[in-house]
Structure 1
Amino acid sequence: MSHIVIISGSPTPGSRLNGLIQHIESKWAGQDIQISHIRVADLPPEALLHANFKDEQIVAALALVESASGVVIASPVYKASFTGILKAFLDLLPQTGLKGKVTLPLFIGGTIAHLLSLDYALKPVLSVLGSRNILGGVFAIDQWVQRLDNGGFELTEELRERLDRSAEELAEEINWLEIRSKEKVVTS
């Protein structure tokens, strides 16, 4: 069974980012995929700020990332970059904490002007953490995600299609890596 961990760097529980996360997660329903969540804002703030590697919740979150085949990095964009709390969490990962993992960035921002934050703010950090299989990612504009009265979200058709393709690509890449890993074991 594949394992995907979704790391949300939103400081706001009702963020439109959740609409993206919920949609992409729904695409893996019924597949042989275990999904875990790390909502960074729910981790102990003092442990994040002081890089307390012994804090139980930090240890558990880092273990989820270590056990995952795929990692979704989700964040709103503030001032042309991902959130500070997400950066604080990524700083806790070991130097090669994303080695051998497929990573998928999901960003949402107020304007298309922040589109390049995926390439210029996040991807270099992921690369430093050992990720060599960074998918293109999805950038959404706030206007493309409407909050519904029932607490859910309505996404534009184009955004849903892009998220669908990214969810499929992540699952395919993980599957390919797992097959390749098994082949290496057999030939050893």
Structure 2
Amino acid sequence: MATVLSVSGSPSATSRTARLLSHLDDRLRDQGHEVISLQVRTLPADALLGADFRHPAVVEATALFERVDGVVIGTPIYKAAYSGLLKSLLDLLPQYALAGKTVLPLATGGSVAHVLAIDYALRPVLTSMGATHVVPGWFTLDKDITVNADGTITLPGPTAEALAEVTDRFSTALRSEAALLQPSL
């Protein structure tokens, strides 16, 4: 199966976005994919804000993008756009860091007024970075993500079903892409 990089662009240590990604990562693992998690907030601020392309943490993050088959990008939506923290990472990656990759964009936010941020703010950036296939993403309202005592989340039925569907669509796209790359016998 494919190797997937799960990127959380949330600056919060108690992020609902990161917890939602973890939930989806488990589903991808259950489908046989290897999932690597990257919390952008753990990268050194001086490297991100100073655009230090040579900082070891940035070099390592860049290498993760190179090594994977697919990328899940999760971000909270602020002011109708993806997080500045995520932007600072994307700005440091090579121009075509997503070339040959299948990408699933996910967003969380406090209002349905931000639902189009995936298509108008995030998708164009992912496409410009060479993503082979940006599958339809999903926006989840913060209020629909209940954090349990053990750190897992509970989602209302319709939200859980929609997220399962977009995750499965992403998984199918990864398998299809891998099949296309297999040499013919």
Q: TM-score range by the shorter chain?
A: over 0.9
1:178 aligns with 2:181: no
Q: 1:57 and 2:57 equivalent?
A: yes
- Partner-residue secondary structure (3-state), 2:15: coil
- 1:138 aligned onto 2:138: yes
- TM-score normalised to structure 1 length: 0.93
Whether 2:148 is the aligned partner of 1:148: answer yes
Deviation at 1:131, TM superposition (A): 1.2
Tell me the residue number matched to 1:98. 98
Provide, for residues 150-186 of structure 1, a one-character-per-residue CA deviation record: whole Å limited to 9, x for no partner.
333221111111111112111111111111011xx44
TM norm structure 2? 0.95
Shift of 1:90: 0.5
Quote the Cα distance in structure 1 between the aligned partners of 2:48 and 2:11: 13
**Percent identical across equivalent pairs?**
36
1:139 positional shift: 0.2
| Structure 2 residue matching 1:12: 3-state secondary structure | coil
Partner of 2:117: 117
CA distance in 1, matches of 2:37, 2:151: 19
Shift of 1:146: 1.4
Question: Whole-Å Cα distance in 2 between the matches of residues 19 and 32 of structure 1?
Answer: 20
Query: After the TM superposition, which residues 9-28 of structure 1 pair with which residues of structure 2 at under 5 Å, given as runs?
Result: 9-28=9-28
Per-residue CA deviation, residues 105-133 of structure 1 (Å, 9 max, x unaligned), is: 11000000000000110011111101131
SS at match of 1:77: strand
1:104 is paired with a residue of what secondary structure? Answer: strand
More deviation, 161-170/117-126? 161-170
Distance (Å, rounded) in 2 between the aligned partners of 1:112 and 1:173: 27
Give me the whole-angstrom Cα distance separating, in 1, the residues matched to 2:140 and 2:154.
Answer: 13
What letter corresponds to residue 110 of structure 1 in structure 2? G
Are the counterparts in 1 of residues 73 and 104 from structure 2 also a CA contact under 8 Å? Answer: yes
Instruction: Give the letter for the 2:143 counterpart.
Output: Q
Bigger Cα displacement from structure 2, 116-125 vs 155-164: 155-164
Unaligned runs of 5+ in 1: none
1:32 & 1:155 partners in 2: Cα distance? 23
Instruction: Judge which range, 37-46 or 151-160, deviates more.
Output: 151-160
Q: Distance in 1 between matches of 2:160 and 2:23?
A: 7
One-letter amino acid of the structure 2 residue matched with residue 38 of structure 1: L
Residue identity in the other structure for 1:145: I
Gaps spanning 5+ residues in structure 2: where?
none
The Cα shift of 1:57 comes to 1.1
- Is the partner of 1:123 in helix, strand or coil? helix
SS class of match (1:75)? strand
Contact map agreement 2:23 2:153 (CA 8 A) in 1: no
Q: Structure 1 151/131 Cα, relative in aligned 2: closer, same or farther at 3 Å?
A: same
